[in-house]
């Protein structure tokens, strides 16, 4: 998932001693962009195993292979080694580039909406978040499709039987580059160039609401915490807690959409409707919680880490004229 924004508070040092939210025009972009990409890469690197485990739990039939998050971690580590937890990581890491386009789109749309006299900051954040996700997903879906196929190419158990949604023969000691090229060729052979955009509409259906809701919840929780907590409490702490709450709330609401997206991209099912129907037949009411524990932990940890990194980088990148008005 894409996690960058600046909230609408239009605060100037001349009329308030403390700037609660650092605005886009207050920062030195030559510092901000490199640092934010480094921060994003570090967080994604640390949390990637949770993404892989979540994907495998979502795609498996019932509990055929793993009974839960910890069982999945144990089996992957036991039979595939530590590197098994990072299968497909280098393909997935392209998302740090899409983050630059995400934030640029977000800020541009938010600025346009403000010029159009849309005064409600919550509406601006929701619309801008959805638009930014549209741009981000259009760029990243092909890499998502490829990385998710790589995630699923692991070892079932001590018998060392491979499993792959593409029906490929996985060689346990094959190089990462060779395996990636083989998977890409196989996808292209089966579905052509559109195979890399399989599940695109499902991705938009999952991630656009996810992005809009996340920033909406983040905005809401932050405002509420600023109201009820003493002014002495760290602003960075309030923002990181707000991000975590936002991650929890959004994940619970959008989990079925994310499961359907993963199924469409990995299993090559025909449509979202068909995928929903199959999921309901397989899981029943359990479709709403399939892979949820791993996704909750991933989302909450990711949200907390991204906000800590992002808001810290904003403070480091803020122009000298504003530094005296920034509270940590």
8 A C-beta contact, residue 191 and residue 262: no
In the block, tokens 């992005």 appear at 211
Q: Mind giving me the DSSP string for 15-44? A: T-SSBSS--GGGB-HHHHHHHHHHHHHHHH
Average pLDDT over residues 81-103: 81
* pLDDT tier, 265 (very low <50, low <70, confident <90, very high otherwise): low
* pLDDT tier, 1 (very low <50, low <70, confident <90, very high otherwise): very low
In the block, tokens 């899409």 appear at 98
Alpha carbon distance 97, 88 (integer Å) = 17
Task: Indicate yes or no: pTM above 0.85.
Answer: no
Pick the CATH number of 24-323 from 1.10.20.10, 1.50.40.10, 3.10.110.10, 3.40.50.150: 1.50.40.10
8 A C-beta contact, residue 264 and residue 199: yes
- Domain boundaries in the chain? 24-323
Q: Mind giving me the DSSP string for 179-211? A: HHHHHHHHHHHHHGGGGGGTTHHHHHHHHHHHH
Of 26-40, 109-123, 154-168, the least confident? 154-168
In the block, tokens 């894409």 appear at 2
Average pLDDT over residues 315-328: 81
Alpha carbon distance 289, 123 (integer Å) = 29
Alpha carbon distance 64, 170 (integer Å) = 20
Which pLDDT does position 164 carry in this prediction? Answer: 55
pLDDT in tens, 152-184: 776 555 544 445 555 565 565 667 777 778 888
Alpha carbon distance 237, 328 (integer Å) = 8
13 or 316, which is more confident? 316
* pLDDT tier, 120 (very low <50, low <70, confident <90, very high otherwise): confident
8 A C-beta contact, residue 302 and residue 48: no
């Amino acid at each position: 998932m894409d996690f960058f924004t600046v909230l609408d508070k239009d605060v100037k040092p001349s009329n308030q001693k403390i700037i609660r939210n650092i605005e886009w025009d207050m920062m030195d972009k030559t510092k901000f962009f490199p640092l934010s990409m480094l921060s994003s890469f570090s967080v994604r690197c640390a949390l990637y195993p949770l993404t892989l485990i979540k994907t495998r739990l979502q795609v498996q039939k019932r509990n055929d292979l793993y009974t839960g998050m910890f069982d999945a971690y144990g089996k992957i580590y036991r039979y595939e080694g530590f590197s098994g937890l990072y299968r497909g990581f280098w393909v997935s890491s392209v998302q740090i580039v899409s983050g630059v386009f995400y934030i640029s789109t977000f800020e541009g749309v938010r600025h346009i909406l403000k010029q159009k006299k849309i005064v409600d900051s919550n509406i601006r954040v929701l619309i801008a978040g959805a638009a930014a996700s549209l741009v981000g997903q259009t760029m990243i879906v092909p890499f998502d499709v490829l990385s998710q196929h790589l995630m699923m190419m692991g070892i079932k158990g001590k018998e060392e039987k491979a499993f792959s949604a593409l029906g490929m023969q996985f060689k346990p000691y094959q190089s990462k580059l060779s395996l990636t090229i083989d998977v890409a060729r196989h996808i292209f052979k089966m579905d052509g160039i559109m195979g890399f955009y399989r599940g695109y509409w499902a991705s938009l259906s999952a991630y656009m609401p996810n992005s809009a809701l996340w920033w909406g919840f983040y905005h809401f929780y932050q405002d509420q915490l600023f109201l009820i907590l003493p002014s002495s409490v760290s602003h960075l702490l309030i923002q990181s807690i707000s991000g975590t709450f936002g991650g929890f709330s959004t994940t619970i609401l959008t989990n079925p959409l994310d499961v359907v997206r993963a199924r469409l991209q990995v299993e090559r099912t025909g449509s979202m409707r068909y995928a929903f129907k199959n999921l309901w037949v397989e899981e029943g009411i359990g479709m709403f919680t399939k892979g949820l524990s791993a996704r909750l932990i991933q989302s909450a940890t990711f949200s907390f880490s991204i906000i800590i990194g992002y808001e810290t980088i904003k403070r480091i990148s803020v122009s000298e004229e504003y530094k005296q008005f920034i509270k940590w």
